[in-house]
A and B are shown apart, each in its own frame.
Chain A
Amino acid sequence: MRRYILHRLVQLVPILLGVTLLTFAMMRLASGDAVDALYENLGAAVSQEVLDAKRAELGLDQPFFVQYFTWLWGVVRGDMGVSYVSGQRVFETFAAKLPNTLLLTVSSVLLTAAVSIPLGILSAVRHNRAADYVIRFLSFIGNSLPNFFVSLLLLLVFAVKLEWLPVISTGGGMSGLLLPTLTLTIAMAAKYTRQVRSTVLEELEKEYVTGARARGVRESVILYASVLKASMLTILTLLALSVGSLLGGTAIVESIFLFDGVGKLAVDAITMRDYPIIQAYVMWMAIIYVLVNLCTDLLYRRLDPRVRLGEEG
């Protein structure tokens, strides 16, 4: 078991090297670097000497691989550099905002599970009846709504028309968390309900269900004691997998609601070409994503002892 976890963590290394190297390469390919962006935003016309001096100060005049390994060496020693714009340490800035994003992610996942699992099961049990059609119709609608449109609609309804909630989230507090969570949940629940439905449906078609029915086992017993137990595995895996799309989705939603998390930080950093922040964002998201997947596999194992983790990949 311990060896397995270690093995998975070792696999994290090439992934991280790959994505950071790719982001690094993208930055060099981009037209206009951080120094240009910095002075453009100050609105001051500066001479080439000043620009060059600033580039030298930030190490941007170094060859590509020198820059990359300097950065990498820093990360290995736990130093993620300093933001070009604010001048603050990247790690501390990041660590201060990460809890907000994690809170948003966790609350969205929980709410999604709370909404989708019952609806998906209901839809499967009532296959091709009214409830099923209504749920499928709604999830189809939800699937076709981009999350930025959902957030603007929610803002329009709850903040502008009804004035129940603030237009701008403050990051902390329940009211600031509510609309971003709702937005992310609507998109996720729409997709997830369909997945739960198809998983349960598939399980209901298996032979043991027919067998149990033939023996006169009550429908509710079949559902709760066998079918749901068997489907839960797939259902949980799918939920964990959706965390990946959620992490990307938070960036847009955080910027709209001015929610003070890492997603908004990254979007702001991209406009300012604040390289160290972008690097940190990409790296941390990769780490979180891989860790979530690892936890899923471990959970999988706990729920189903037949799964032999060591045999995978």
Chain B
Amino acid sequence: MGTIRKRPLEGTSLRLTLCAGLVGLILLTAVFAPLLTPWDPYAQDMSAALQAPSAAHLLGTDAYGRDVLSRVIVGARTSVFSSLTLVAVICAGGSFLGVLCGWLGGRADAVIMRLSDLFLAFPGMVFAIAVAGLIGGGMVNAVIALAAISWPKYTRLARGQTLAVKSAPYVTAAVMANNTALQIIFRHILPNIAGPLLVTAALDIGTMMMELAGLSFLNLGAQPPTAEWGSMMSKGRSMIQTSPWVVLGPGIAIFLTVLAFNLLGDALRDYLDPKRRGARAE
């Protein structure tokens, strides 16, 4: 990493810093959400139901008179943390499996690869919807459902990368120096294949956030009264004709958050691979 850091142009690292700052701001909002809300996000006040945005309620109020802005702020916690957990789990778990496959080869490799073929041969979201629906609602179950279908991407990538570095002289040297397999994996292989895995993970956060919110929107994720962007929009959709702000508040919040994470992923990719500066977006 030390030598790579010097290489990219000013522009790319500036962009990365800006994007990281933006994402940092969102993370801070999520962490300190309870301190930032102007109103109690769960306090119902039927006399103030469905008020249009005003100075008191900047984003208006929902059908139970709850302040939409406060709920959007608290919802950042649910959405951001669950997406980060999800991506961390599939990236770590999937990559570990992939490295093992690449390192060990043989029967374990064959079995795990066929299993990942099975998952890749199937439209993921269809399965996630079925799984989330069947194991029951709740954010944890939605995360489990998406994790169950999304790991193979990382396994594939990590396996390929491992195979590529396996024959490198430094790995051979490590083997000859009598290091254990785990030592080699953690000290030599993982640091060298981390780049592409991290970029994939960073670009995945936004997608996963949208899919989690999608599940919540179908009532298969967060359950009421939990403030979560997808489920807030789901509740608001029947009132879209009269009170569109109930939908627009959380909708714009998802959009901006996903946008910030996508920008960060994009910047990170360009930063780690200067050749691809803006040229080959996937």
Contacts and interface: CB of A to CB of B under 8 A. Distances in A.
Interface residues of B, number: 45
B87 to A, nearest CB: 16
Contacts, number: 146
B124 A136 contact: no
**Binding site of A, secondary structure by majority: helix, strand, loop or mixed?**
helix
B51 interface: no
Interface in B116-138: 118, 121-131, 133-136
A273 B137 CA distance: 12
Interface in A151-169: 152-153, 155-156, 160, 167
A255 to B, nearest CB: 7
Interface string A227-241: 000000000000000
Contacts of B219: 271
A25 to B, nearest CB: 9
B123 A248 contact: yes
Contacts of A266: 126, 129-130
A228 to B, nearest CB: 18
Nearest to A187: B210
B244 interface: yes
A148 B233 contact: yes
Contacts of A128: 278
Contact of A145 (B123, B128, B136, B255): B255
Contact of B279 (A14, A30, A198, A267): A198
Given A136-B281, A143-B262, A152-B240, A271 B133 contact: yes
A170 B187 CA distance: 60
A86 interface: no
Contacts of A160: 240-241, 244
Most buried by A among B118, B129, B213, B241: B129
B118 A249 contact: no
A23 B130 contact: yes
A251 B125 contact: yes
B230 A148 contact: yes
A198 B134 contact: no
A256 B130 contact: no
Interface residues of A, number: 58
Contacts of A27: 134
Contacts of B255: 144-146, 149
Nearest to A275: B134
A290 B125 CA distance: 15
Contacts of A249: 125
Interface in B126-166: 126-131, 133-136
A32 B126 contact: no
B247 interface: yes
Contacts of A18: 118
B258 A202 contact: no
Interface of A: 14-15, 18-19, 22-23, 26-27, 29-32, 127-128, 136, 140-141, 143-149, 152-153, 155-156, 160, 167, 194-195, 197-198, 201-202, 244-245, 247-249, 251-252, 255-256, 266-267, 270-271, 273, 278, 281-282, 285-286, 289-290, 293
Interface of B: 118, 121-131, 133-136, 206, 210, 213-214, 217-220, 230, 233-234, 237, 240-241, 244, 247, 251, 254-255, 258-259, 262-263, 266, 278-282
Rank and list the top 7 A-B pairs by shortest CB-CB distance, nearest first.
Answer: A248-B125, A270-B133, A144-B259, A146-B210, A244-B123, A198-B280, A26-B134
13 contacts: A136-B278, A146-B230, A148-B230, A201-B280, A202-B280, A248-B126, A248-B128, A251-B129, A256-B237, A270-B133, A281-B126, A281-B130, A282-B130
